[in-house]
Amino acid sequence: MNETKSEVLVKERQLVIPGDTLATGLDFLPSSGSFRANNEIKSKILGLAKVKDRFVGAIPLSGVYAPKVGDGIIGFITDMQTTIWIADINSPYDAILPLSEAVGEYVDLNKTDISVYYDIGDIVYAKVLNISKSKRIQLTMNDHRARKLIGGRIMRITPSKVPRVIGKSGSMIELIKEKTKCQIIVGQNGVIWVKGENEVLAADTILKIEKESHVSGLTDKISKFLEKGD
């Protein structure tokens, strides 16, 4: 019996539809947006193919973050090279954080491992500094709000719902912070960090806003929801 040859059949960011075969063989593993069918990995969704090491999946077209210069985002450090970190920013495109934009001091690379600043698995709040024509996204930590996020919980919402969660002049997010006694950082990429006394209530409230963002009188409704959960 011949084993199915293990190979990836799609290119990074290639458009795929539900049922498209992304890879064959057992050397690759399905990630989000995909599933295994016998010796094949198939797409569950309409989206863009994503290949990372042995993992093959698809990112949905709807709900994906489209970066803009100046956006504050939450990113996940997934890899690093000599003078850069690579971050997943909930977008079809990975972002680059150069050493020069991450550390405000001279670093002797012969003596210093850059992982002492940021390591794989770290979560950061950063700013989108530049986007090239080829969609190379560069981040910077040169912002008073930028920092490594430690502890707490991470949640994701549809990026287009972020303004509703923040509210007019920050009114909605300040209400949630006050009632839950939590620190909350909302990334424009739909990734949110919550840390504090009542993280569960804060997270439930944010998900309620996302679900009911179209409802009029939402602020009053959320205020009552927070009072009940307090």
Q: Tell me the per-residue pLDDT of 52-89, one tens digit each, with 9 for 90 and over.
A: 889 999 987 766 788 999 999 999 999 999 999 999 99
Element (H, E) at 22: strand 21-24
pTM more than 0.85? no
Both tokens of 165, joined, read 């969660």
Q: Report the DSSP pairing between strands 29-30 and 55-60.
A: parallel
CB neighbour burial string for 12-34, b if at least 16 within 10 angstroms, e if fewer: eeeebeeebebbbeeebebbebb
Residue 1 has what pLDDT? 46
CATH 3.40.1390.10 is the classification of domain 7-60: no
Q: Tell me, what's the pLDDT at 3? A: 65
Which residue ranges in the chain fall short of pLDDT 50?
1
What span, in angstroms and rounded, lies between the C-alpha atoms of 228 and 206?
Answer: 15
Separation CA 65–CA 177 (nearest Å): 24
Fold matches, 7-60 and 72-149 = yes
Which pLDDT belongs to residue 192? 98
At position 197, the amino acid (one-letter code) is: E
Are the beta carbons of 94 and 78 closer than 8 angstroms? Answer: yes
Q: Determine the topology of domain 72-149 in CATH.
A: OB fold (Dihydrolipoamide Acetyltransferase, E2P) (2.40.50)
Instruction: Give the integer Cα–Cα distance in Å for 164 and 214.
Output: 9
Amino acid identity, position 212: E
DSSP 8-state code for residue 100: H
What is the residue extent of each domain of the chain? 7-60, 72-149, 153-229
- Has domain 153-229 been given CATH number 3.30.1370.10? yes
